[in-house]
Structure formats: C-alpha cells, structure tokens
C-alpha cells in the first residue's frame, strides 16, 4: 500500500513532502517517545504521533520511515515541514486521536475483505 492510497482511504491532509506520496508502507508505529521510535520502528513504516518538532523528521529520515501522521489536527512546525519537503517524507494530518487513526490504519492494512 502506498502513502497516497492511505490518504484517499482515510481522508488525510497532506501537510508537506508531496514528492514522497508514492512510498510503500510496510507497517505502522504509534509513539510519542522518540527513543521508542528510534529503537523499535522499522524501515517503511508510517509513524503516528503528536510530536510536531523537527526531530520527528530527523528520526523519520534516519529510520527510513515512509510517512508521519500527526493526530488531533496538529500541524508540523515550519522547519519540520521544510525538512519533510527536502527529504520527501510526507507529513500527513488527521483530526482523529491516535487510537482512532491507528485502528483505521491497522484495519486497512490487515483486515481483508
């Protein structure tokens, strides 16, 4: 599944990183603790978080994540969005809270039929 498919299926906003919308998603990780993501997320995952500062992009890039979803209508800081554009790692947005969007994501990727 591509990032663009998720956007369509879940009605997500694209905050930045439009050029990365073709990236494949291998799974997801939900956490607001940066070391937790650093230690446990894996290449190609989509990261659901409420953190909006620039280190979100540093981690996404170092871990080769596919995209970030900011929950509860949060928007990325200006320098976070700028780095997302440079790295082509999209930052997406939803009004849902983490539990809701994680549930929808999980089902989209795992519940067949």
Partner 1 sequence: MQFEYEIEGGNFSRAGYASSEVKKRLRQLNVDLQIVKRIVVALYEAEVNVVAHAYQGKMIVEIDEKKILLVLEDSGPGIADIEKAMEEGFSTASAEVREMGFGAGMGLSNIKKNVDHLEITSEVGEGTRVEMITYMNKGR
Binding site for partner 1 (CB under 8 A): 32-36, 38-39, 43, 49, 51, 53-55, 58-59, 61-63, 79
**CB of residue 15 to partner 1, shortest distance in Å:** 18
Of 16 and 51, the one with the shorter C-beta distance to partner 1 is 51
Report the length, in residues, of the chain: 113
Nearer to partner 1, 9 or 36 (CB): 36
In the complex, what is the shortest distance from the CB of residue 62 to partner 1, in angstroms, rounded to a whole number?
Answer: 5
At 40, list the tokens: 């446990």
**CB < 8 Å & 24+ apart, contacts of 72-77:** 72/96, 72/97, 74/50, 75/15, 76/15, 76/16, 76/52, 77/52, 77/53
């Amino acid at each position: 599944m591509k990032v663009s498919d998720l956007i369509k299926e879940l009605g997500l906003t694209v905050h930045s990183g439009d050029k990365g919308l073709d990236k494949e998603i291998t799974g997801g990780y939900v956490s607001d603790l940066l070391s937790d993501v650093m230690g446990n997320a894996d290449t190609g995952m989509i990261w659901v978080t409420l953190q909006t500062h620039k280190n979100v992009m540093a981690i996404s890039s170092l871990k080769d994540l596919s995209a970030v979803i900011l929950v509860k209508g949060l928007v990325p800081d200006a320098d976070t969005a700028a780095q997302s554009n440079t790295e082509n790692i999209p930052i997406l947005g939803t009004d849902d809270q983490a539990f809701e969007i994680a549930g929808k994501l999980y089902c989209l990727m795992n519940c067949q039929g």
